């Protein structure tokens, strides 16, 4: 369970999440349609687990629904994770979520310790390289998803659905800023890596391919460098993700895991 200090920090963060007064039309559409919600209350955490159950167990059948009798998809890494939700303003429904798995602070000095799922799954020694993935400032992003069923039922149109991924990444960038995360680790499918390249999120493929419910590749993201790349490629996307540069990082890095192949932003 998330520590109360995490929730308090998220509460303080929520006061900083709004953009400057000027908003481009695509920003206005985003903020008229969605709200980025840092998880700060137990009931919000329940919403995270329930939404993940719906997406990963029912919609995508990525996980076995019979393993989750309470209809909440939870794993061992949730004990030291932080979260964001994306809320549909008109209905109040949560349509998307993402988490950052934080390092185990009791083992920060152990360079061979598996802090993240990607370290357990990858056979590449680079996952323990402190120059690439420094334990104190690395996190793994995982369970980033949205419910396509909900989006359809709520009448969220195609353009608005294209803004869901930037909205979730906006929450991720805020969490990175709050917890001083500089590098993100991820295990991604090749087609998702290609999509990320097309919208400016250009990861470094740092490891060999891994079999984990399909072929995935170990990648890393540098938060500030990635933000600059997105800005060069798609200024409107950059404005949403970084809150007009507020969370773009300053020589920082970020890590990303197992994003869903459903994303079509920029395709």
- What's the rounded Cα separation, in Å, for the pair 54 and 63? 10
The stretches of the chain forming alpha helices (DSSP H) are 4-14, 25-33, 42-52, 117-121, 148-153, 158-161, 164-179, 190-199, 223-233, 235-242
* Higher local confidence (pLDDT), 256 or 120: 120
Q: Average pLDDT in the 132-156 region?
A: 93
Cα 134 to Cα 147: distance, rounded to the nearest angstrom: 33
How many helices (H) and strands (E) would you count in the chain? 10, 7
Query: 256 pLDDT exceeds 70?
Result: no
Report CA 263 to chain centroid distance, whole Å: 13
pLDDT of residue 21: 45
Per the CB < 8 A criterion, the answer to whether 51 and 59 are in contact is no
- The CATH number corresponding to 4-242 among 3.40.50.410, 3.40.605.10, 3.20.20.120, 3.40.630.30 equals 3.40.630.30
Which of 54-68, 200-214, 234-248, 252-266 shows the highest mean pLDDT? 54-68
d(CA 258, CA 51): 16
Domain residue limits, the chain:
4-242
Residue 102: name the closest of 150, 74, 75, 136 by CA.
Answer: 136
The C-alpha atoms of residue 200 and residue 49 are separated, in whole angstroms, by 30
């Amino acid at each position: 369970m998330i520590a109360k200090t995490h929730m308090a920090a998220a509460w303080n963060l929520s006061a900083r999440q709004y953009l400057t007064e000027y908003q481009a039309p695509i920003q206005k559409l985003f903020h008229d349609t969605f709200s980025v919600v840092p998880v700060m209350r137990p009931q919000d955490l329940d919403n995270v687990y329930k939404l993940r159950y719906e997406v990963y167990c029912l919609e995508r059948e990525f996980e076995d629904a019979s393993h989750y009798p309470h209809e909440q998809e939870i794993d061992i890494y949730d004990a030291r994770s932080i979260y964001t939700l994306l809320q549909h303003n008109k209905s109040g429904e949560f349509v998307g979520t993402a988490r950052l798995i934080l390092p185990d602070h009791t083992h920060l000095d152990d360079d061979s310790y598996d802090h993240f799922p990607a370290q357990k799954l990858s056979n590449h020694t680079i996952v323990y390289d402190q120059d690439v993935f420094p334990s104190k400032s690395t996190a793994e992003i995982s369970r980033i998803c949205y419910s396509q069923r909900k989006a359809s039922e709520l009448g969220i149109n195609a353009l608005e659905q294209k803004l869901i991924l930037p909205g979730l990444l906006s929450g991720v960038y805020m969490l990175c800023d709050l917890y001083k995360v500089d590098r993100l680790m991820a295990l991604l499918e090749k087609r998702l890596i290609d999509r990320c390249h097309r919208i400016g999120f250009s990861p470094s493929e740092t490891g060999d391919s891994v079999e984990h419910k399909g072929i995935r590749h170990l990648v890393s993201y540098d938060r500030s460098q990635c933000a600059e790349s997105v800005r060069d490629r798609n200024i409107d996307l950059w404005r949403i993700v970084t809150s007009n540069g507020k969370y773009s990082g300053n020589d920082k890095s970020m890590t990303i895991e197992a994003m869903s192949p459903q994303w079509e932003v920029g395709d």
